[in-house]
């Protein structure tokens, strides 16, 4: 059985990669040096276990135990990239737990009757190029390769250029790689306090609420902060400032969530009137109709204030496979002896993208004592992480009989 030392041995290998000394958070963005190091780590960790490592045309990595072309496999895993100054657990916990679950099964002499894979999805957070779950969306065809290749980062670098700079081929959908996935189970740190409040270590997921991202552009005219009279200014910041407050007001009135967490100001001088503000809105809610209504009112507001608003991504309400989730839940309950709650989430996941593409998918959540996520303060106790590995191993054993 995996113990604390086994967990920490593998976990600690990842700890320094992309960690900011200033914030203590992680900056692991796609197609950067940190990403290359993480990809090497994944390949080496798989190879050390004798797993066959492949990369699909969408840029996702896979490590297979057994021949994935013999019959559709059971896949576990998650992602290794992060949001700006993200926590250590969002993504990596699922990848590390997947390798350790396979170690545990092998140590127990379990021989799965179907291929078992560990997946590491590329660019789940979309922190650099803007589209969340880029790797799984490309894989399933939910993101057009041409659109992906033309996405730009904050410095204007296209994804296609970044790929060629990294010596990588253009990305594409990969139906052959997708066909190998008979079912996907993603273990993830909980991004809320559901388990903490219940006093339990592991849950299964029921659904992901609908969510999307929109880009906002406000144009003005650069001019001197000391010599331009207020009435002569065309200040792009004013439209944006109004939009932030409007998003908050509309979110409250529609009962949804709205976040304006990223903004870029041109020219970006303390003493220059802003000529252009680009910003992003993240909107989510329990009901598709409420999110859409909020966004429609927001679009009207932005247009009235001479701005533009364009959708960058959208993910519908996502229900995980009920039959698979029931089996996962039974397997976890049998292994931990604990009650296993069923929790919905407001966070997006590659498991959700696969579910929307028709792949039976399920998720396990591991307790997060504060519920904080997308922050350096994100945490899970090591004993709960080990409980998650045992739970995942039981799930793999049950689903690969
Ligand atoms: C991913 O973590 C998201 O929900 O934005
Ligand atoms: Mn995340
Ligand atoms: Mn995640």
Q: What is the pLDDT of residues 314-327, one digit of tens each?
A: 999 999 999 999 99
Ligand 1 neighbour 348 (Cβ under 6 A): yes
CA 227 vs CA 131, 231, 235, 300, 313: distances in Å: 40, 12, 14, 33, 41
What is the rounded distance in angstroms from the CA atom of residue 314 to the CA atom of residue 320? 17
Nearest CA to ligand 1 atom 1: 348
Helix 236-254 with 288-304: angle, nearest 10 deg: 150
pLDDT of 181: 98
Distance 133 CA to ligand 1 centre (A): 9
Assigned token pair, 246: 């409007």
131 lines ligand 1 (CB under 6 A): no
CA of 374 to the centre of ligand 2 (A): 6
Cα 304 to ligand 3 centre (Å): 36
Pocket test for ligand 1, best of 348, 365, 371 (most atoms within 8 A of CB): 348
Atom of ligand 1 nearest to the CA of 83: 2
Q: In the prediction, which pLDDT does 96 show?
A: 99
SS3 344: strand
Residue keyed to tokens 């976990």? 11
Cβ–Cβ < 8 Å for 309, 337:
no
User: What's the pLDDT at 16?
Assistant: 98
Q: Determine the Cα–Cα distance for residues 245 and 225; give it in Å rounded to an integer.
A: 24
pLDDT digits (tens, 9 = 90+) for 106-160: 999 999 999 999 999 999 999 999 999 999 999 999 999 999 999 999 999 999 9
Question: What is the atom index within ligand 1 of the atom nearest the CA of 124?
Answer: 1
Closest ligand 1 atom to Cα of 282: 5
Specify the DSSP class assigned to residue 126: -
Whole-angstrom distance, CA of residue 141 vs CA of residue 135? 10
Q: What's residue 40's pLDDT?
A: 98
59 Cβ inside 6 Å of ligand 1: no
What is the C-alpha separation between 88 and 144, in angstroms, rounded? 30
Regarding the beta carbon of 209 and ligand 1, being less than 6 Å apart is answered no
CA distance readout (Å), 191 to 97, 195, 374:
17, 10, 8
Q: What's the 125 CA to ligand 1 centre distance in angstroms?
A: 6
Q: Is 86 in the pocket of ligand 1 (CB under 6 A)?
A: no
End-to-end CA gap in the chain: 19
R_g of the chain computed on alpha carbons: 22
User: Which residue positions in the chain have pLDDT lower than 70?
Assistant: none
pLDDT for residue 398: 97
Which residue, 69, 83, 75, 30, is CA-closest to 355? 75
Ligand 1 near 347 CB (within 6 A): yes
């Amino acid at each position: 059985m995996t113990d604390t030392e086994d967990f920490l041995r593998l976990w600690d290998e990842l700890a320094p990669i992309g960690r900011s000394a200033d914030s203590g958070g992680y900056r692991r963005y796609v197609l950067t040096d940190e990403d290359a190091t993480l990809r090497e780590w994944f390949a080496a960790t798989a190879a050390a276990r004798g797993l066959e490592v492949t990369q699909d045309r969408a840029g996702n990595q896979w490590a297979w135990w057994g021949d994935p072309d013999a019959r559709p496999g059971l896949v576990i895993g998650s992602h290794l990239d992060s949001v700006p100054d993200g926590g250590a657990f969002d993504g990596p916990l699922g990848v590390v737990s997947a390798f350790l679950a396979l170690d545990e099964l092998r140590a127990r002499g379990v021989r799965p009757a179907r291929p078992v894979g560990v997946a590491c999805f590329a660019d789940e957070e979309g922190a650099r190029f803007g589209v969340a779950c880029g790797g799984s969306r490309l894989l399933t065809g939910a993101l057009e390769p041409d659109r992906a290749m033309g996405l730009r980062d904050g410095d204007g670098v296209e994804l296609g250029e970044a790929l060629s700079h990294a010596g990588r081929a253009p990305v594409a959908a990969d139906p052959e790689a997708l066909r190998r996935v008979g079912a996907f189970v993603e273990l993830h740190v909980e991004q809320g306090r559901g388990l903490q409040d219940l006093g339990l270590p592991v849950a299964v997921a029921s659904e992901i609420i609908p969510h999307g991202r929109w880009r906002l552009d406000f144009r003005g005219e650069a001019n001197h902060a000391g010599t331009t009279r207020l009435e002569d200014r065309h200040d792009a910041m004013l439209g944006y400032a109004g939009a932030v407050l409007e998003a908050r007001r509309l979110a409250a009135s529609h009962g949804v969530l709205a976040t304006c967490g990223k903004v870029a100001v041109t020219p970006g001088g303390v003493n220059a009137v802003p000529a252009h503000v680009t910003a992003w809105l993240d909107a989510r809610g329990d009901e598709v109709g409420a999110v859409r209504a909020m966004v429609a009112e927001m679009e009207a507001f932005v247009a009235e204030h001479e701005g533009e608003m364009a959708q960058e991504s959208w993910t519908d309400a996502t229900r995980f496979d009920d039959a698979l989730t029931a089996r996962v839940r039974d397997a976890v309950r049998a292994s931990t002896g604990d009650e296993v709650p069923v929790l919905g989430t407001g966070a997006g996941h590659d498991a959700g993208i696969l579910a929307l593409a028709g792949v039976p998918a399920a998720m396990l959540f591991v307790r997060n004592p504060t519920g904080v996520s997308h922050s350096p303060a994100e945490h899970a106790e090591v004993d709960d992480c080990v409980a998650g590995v045992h739970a995942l191993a039981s799930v793999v054993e049950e689903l690969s009989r």
